[in-house]
A and B are shown apart, each in its own frame.
Chain A
Amino acid sequence: GNSVTQMEGPVTLSEEAFLTINCTYTATGYPSLFWYVQYPGEGLQLLLKATKADDKGSNKGFEATYRKETTSFHLEKGSVQVSDSAVYFCALTSFGSQGNLIFGKGTKLSVKP
């Protein structure tokens, strides 16, 4: 089946710290991978995506690389800001999911000044 596992939160960091949120997946075929971010009181925003092995998605200082050999798509940022405080969801689509998004449970990030 298709599933996404991401590290449990909450994650609390100081401003300018390095961020890693781990995400691994199980999927049939060749999935497309996404990171979505949800700020308090808002909907989900696409943060970045990667559609084939070794692709690197990047946006707003965040990066994630599609690693087929380890079935991973870890989210990283070199220096977090207070404004990055949000919930981050790793997700995939695949033929096995009928094109539907399969989400991880989400990781809440809190950044302290």
Chain B
Amino acid sequence: DTEVTQTPKHLVMGMTNKKSLKCEQHMGHRAMYWYKQKAKKPPELMFVYSYEKLSINESVPSRFSPECPNSSLLNLHLHALQPEDSALYLCASSKDRVALHQPQHFGDGTRLSIL
């Protein structure tokens, strides 16, 4: 079982809907990440939170809005998505963003489909 829990596992939404993806970890990690993964591709980094502050936004469109309410939780709010946003969204955490030898731990992802 993964130590990073993502909900929901699957999500189908229309282009006008608003939904949220959730991610939770209880390993005491202080860095949390959102990735987007298209089929047959490696994950692409979207956002990084370090000590609950947004430290990296990889030029992600504003229709994706991240939130880190506390050190264990990470949300990704979705609004007015496009069909090309259909993908697997992965959450990950690590002890500290600058501790290079510490691995990132991934959740199982949310499979998002935009109609």
Contact = CB atoms under 8 A, between A and B. Distances in A.
B105 interface: yes
A51 interface: yes
B108 A43 contact: yes
Interface in B1-45: 2, 4, 6, 31, 40-43, 45
B100 A99 contact: yes
Contact-size category for B: 20 to 34
A89 B42 contact: yes
Interface in A48-97: 49, 51, 89, 93-95
A7 interface: no
A31 B108 CA distance: 26
Contacts of B99: 99
Contacts of B92: 44
B98 A43 contact: no
A26 interface: no
B56 A44 contact: no
Nearest to A34: B103
B74 interface: no
B101 A51 contact: yes
A106 B106 contact: no
A94 B45 contact: no
B75 interface: no
A31 B106 contact: no
B109 interface: yes
Nearest to A36: B106
A105 B42 contact: yes
Given A43-B106, A45-B106, A99 B97 contact: yes
Contacts of A105: 41-42
Contacts of A44: 43, 90, 92, 106
A46 B105 contact: yes
A101 interface: yes
A106 B40 contact: yes
A89 to B, nearest CB: 6
Interface of A: 31-32, 34, 36, 42-46, 49, 51, 89, 93-95, 98-101, 103-106, 108
